[in-house]
Amino acid sequence: MDSKEMLVQGSKELGIVLSDEQVSQFYQYYQELVTWNQKMNLTAITEEKEVIVKHFLDCLTPAVNFDFTTCTTLIDMGTGAGFPGIPLKIAYPHLKITLVDSLQKRIHFLQEVTKGLGLENVECVHGRAEELGQNSIYREQYDLCVSRAVAHLSVLYEYTLPFIKTGGVFLALKGPNVKEELEEGKKALQVLGGQWKQTWIISLPYSDITHSIVQIKKARHTPTQYPRKAGKPSKSPII
């Protein structure tokens, strides 16, 4: 099977039908990723099919169980090279997205790549979750927050829940074993105004990889003292 078929069929399996334009946006993104990766550390995975499966399809897996057409504003916390925010934006062009990372050079890459792909309504923000979460421009402004491979849930809730409107959703893309993290994160979730809704196990197409997606509802406002100052959530998680 060629890589294009993997992208198109794999997306279909996840419930997404890609147009030719969307397919070419994914390929352009791939080209930019491997080109910039020679100058800066963006991804350890560079082989075409592997990027399609382990980055692109992986980032689209929440679509199996979550209807992105119900949301307008999305923030991707600790997006790195744009995961999962950019694949989701390509698949759901109606989304207004904010990509956040604490590394300036990654933000520069994201600005160039989103401009090159012609993606509209994308804001690339350099900053730490702990600081932006106290900024009224971003605080409790989003319908949806997504995050992949950034921190344990007990820490991640403090990085993400302050950005979500009451009634909004947080989707955490996690590895196969999330049970312990969920247990450990219970107190932080409660303190920060979140409520666990469901955890789904997903089989990644064209691989033997399974992973979990944790869906949290933002049930109440986050108390104003959270997020705490930079470094504090990871040094002293709310447990």
Residue 174 near ligand SAM by CB under 6 A: no
To ligand SAM, the closest distance from the beta carbon of 20 in angstroms equals 26
**Residues in contact with ligand SAM, shown as a per-residue x/- string from 111 to 140 under the rule CB under 6 A:** -----------------xxx----------
Give min distance, CB of 124 to ligand SAM, in A.
12
Q: Which of 11, 61, 79, 114 binds ligand SAM (CB under 6 A)?
A: 79
CB of 101 to ligand SAM, least distance (A): 5
Helix axes 104-116, 20-37, angle to 10 degrees: 150
d(CA 5, CA 41): 28
Task: Compare residues 130 and 143 and give the one whose CB is closer to ligand SAM.
Answer: 130
Residues in the chain: 239
80 is a site residue for ligand SAM (CB under 6 A): yes
Question: Of 80 and 205, which CB lies nearer to ligand SAM in the complex structure?
Answer: 80
Neighbours of 228 (CB within 10 A): 15
> Interface with ligand SAM by CB under 6 A: which range of 73-81, 111-119, 164-172, 202-210?
73-81
Q: What is the DSSP string of 171-236?
A: EEEE-S--HHHHHHTHHHHHHHTEEEEEEEEEEPTTSS-EEEEEEEEE-SPPPTT-S-STTHHHHS
Q: Does 87 bind ligand SAM (CB under 6 A)?
A: no
Options 9, 28, 72, 102; binder of ligand SAM; rule CB under 6 A: 102
Q: Please report the beta strands in the chain, taking only residues with DSSP state E, as ranges in sequence order.
A: 73-77, 96-101, 122-126, 142-148, 164-174, 194-203, 210-218
Question: Closest Cα partner for 83 from 52, 127, 104, 105?
Answer: 52
Write out the residues near ligand SAM by the rule CB under 6 A: 78-80, 83, 100-103, 106, 128-130, 148-150, 159
